[in-house]
């Protein structure tokens, strides 16, 4: 059985990834610490979604962990040695980022670095997927034509061979 680690597993995208891969027979582990409730108050609380996953996905394992906890992330990835990682943990609000710049940077940049380093050390062959908010580029990338390659999809236009420019 393949093992997947999903950070931000109680969030909108992370929880859908958990559900999808669980339905495909994967052993799914999720990392979440309900930081949305800290960032956005009661309306941001994701514990309901964590409970939904526990009910809907028997065998799903929740790990109460903050991606900013370097030692905790390193230890978890070493323990699990996942076959794949989906990193969806984030502070997603650009408006909130201006009000809490250090917390935003620590969650988004340092948290991502912690997960990447843990994967480099303990699961170097595992595919790593990093998801971000559409607020980075808006909906425009959704309009670009894609081509299906052997192992992934890519942009059809050679203009995007190296990714999407920051001024897109």
Question: Do 11 and 75 have their domain in common?
Answer: yes
Question: Do 14 and 87 have their domain in common?
Answer: yes
State the burial class of residue 8 (Cβ atoms within 10 Å of its Cβ: 0-12, 13-18, 19+).
buried
- pLDDT computed for residue 106 by the predictor: 93
- In whole angstroms, give the CA distance from residue 56 to residue 67: 25
Contact status, residue 5 vs residue 17, Cβ threshold 8 Å:
no
Please state the pTM of the whole predicted model. Answer: 0.81
Minimum mean pLDDT range among 27-36, 50-59, 122-131, 137-146:
137-146
Give per-residue pLDDT as tens, 125-147: 999 999 876 665 667 778 899 99
Q: How many domains does the chain contain in total?
A: 2
Q: What is the CATH number of the domain that holds 19?
A: 3.40.50.720
Question: Do 30 and 100 have their domain in common?
Answer: yes
Give per-residue pLDDT as tens, 71-119: 999 999 999 999 999 999 988 777 788 888 999 899 989 999 999 999 9
Domain region containing 163: 138-168
Question: Do 39 and 89 have their domain in common?
Answer: yes
- pLDDT computed for residue 168 by the predictor: 74
Question: Do 69 and 86 have their domain in common?
Answer: yes
Question: Do 131 and 152 have their domain in common?
Answer: no
Question: Do 7 and 21 have their domain in common?
Answer: yes
- pLDDT computed for residue 165 by the predictor: 77
């Amino acid at each position: 059985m393949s093992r997947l680690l999903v950070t931000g597993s109680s969030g909108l995208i992370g929880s859908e990834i958990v559900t999808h891969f669980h339905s495909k027979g994967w052993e799914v582990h999720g990392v979440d610490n309900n930081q949305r409730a800290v960032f956005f108050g009661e309306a941001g609380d994701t514990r309901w979604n964590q409970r939904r996953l526990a009910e809907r996905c028997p065998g799903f394992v929740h790990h109460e962990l903050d991606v900013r906890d370097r030692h905790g992330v390193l230890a978890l990835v070493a323990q699990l040695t996942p076959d794949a990682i989906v990193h969806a943990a984030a502070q997603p609000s650009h408006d909130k980022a201006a009000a809490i710049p250090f917390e935003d940077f620590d969650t988004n940049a340092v948290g991502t670095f912690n997960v990447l380093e843990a994967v480099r050390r303990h699961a170097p062959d595992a595919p790593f997927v990093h998801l971000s908010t559409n607020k980075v580029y808006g909906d425009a990338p959704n309009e670009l034509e894609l081509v299906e390659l052997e192992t992934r999809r890519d942009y059809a236009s050679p203009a995007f061979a190296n990714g999407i420019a920051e001024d897109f």
